[in-house]
Homo-oligomer: A and B are copies of this chain.
Amino acid sequence: MEALPSKLLERTVEEFSKLPGVGKQTALRFALHLLRQNKNDAATLSAAIDQMLEGIKFCKHCHCISDSDVCEICSNPKRQKDVVCVVENIQGLMAIEHTAQFTGVYHVLGGVISPIDGIGINDLTIAQLLERVEKEGIKEVILALPTTMEGDTTNFYINKQLQRFPVSVSTLARGVAIGDNLEYADEITLGRSIVNRVPFDSIFNKQ
């Protein structure tokens, strides 16, 4: 990319282009967009970033991003505190919250075990999960990690660690997506759906 006529602009472009999926051209578009606005409107972005970096916390129970020491979900008296859903990250948590089908609480791992990315057991909040299970009288742990190899590795590890506690461990049901035509379902999912077929009543009488 050709040299920019302003070092100040150049630095902003450089910083924007560190964001995921943002190249130099997009970063320049972002910076010029801010310059086209009036100064106060444009400054709200940097103010929001600064306040977020300064003020954000992680819930001391579930390790989710939060504005206070205990997040809204963990401090909600209506949530079942003895059912914990283990998610990879906040996006996973939000996806499950969005279904409005879960009334328990969460535990955010902060990733999944991935040797290639250098993420090991100690980079995740697994020890904290085990401590919660031991001390908070948790009855059920639902493993809701991505259905990838890394997610399954993490599932297996956590499941093994939980064996020493009197807690039931479950995981997300896997199978053909609802509304899918079978010809478009991938082979692995469809194959496992046949092998792990379930009683008719367990699906249709629940709905």
Is A33 touching B19 in the complex (CB atoms < 8 A)? yes
Would you call A69 an interface residue if the criterion is a C-beta within 8 Å of the partner chain's C-beta atoms? no
Given A67-B8, A94-B2; A52-B31 close (CB under 8 Å): yes
| Residue in B45, B47, B52, B93 whose CB lies within 8 Å of A9 | B52
Quick one: which of A5, A29, A64 has the most chain B CB within 10 A? A5
Chain B residue with Cβ nearest A73? B5
Q: How many residues of A contact B (CB 8 A)?
A: 58
Q: Which of A20-28, A128-136, A144-152 is the interface stretch?
A: A20-28
User: Which residues does chain B contribute within 8 Å of A6, judged by CB atoms?
Assistant: 52, 56, 65-67
Query: A11: CB under 8 A from chain B?
Result: yes
Cα A19 to Cα B46 with chains together (Å): 12
- Flag if B51 contacts A5 (CB, 8 Å): no
A12 contacts the other chain (CB 8 A): yes
A49: Cβ under 8 A from any B Cβ:
yes
* 20 other A-B residue contacts (CB within 8 Å) besides A4-B65, A43-B50: A5-B64, A5-B66, A5-B72, A5-B90, A7-B67, A8-B48, A8-B51, A9-B65, A12-B52, A14-B48, A15-B45, A18-B45, A19-B45, A28-B91, A42-B49, A42-B53, A43-B53, A45-B49, A46-B50, A46-B53
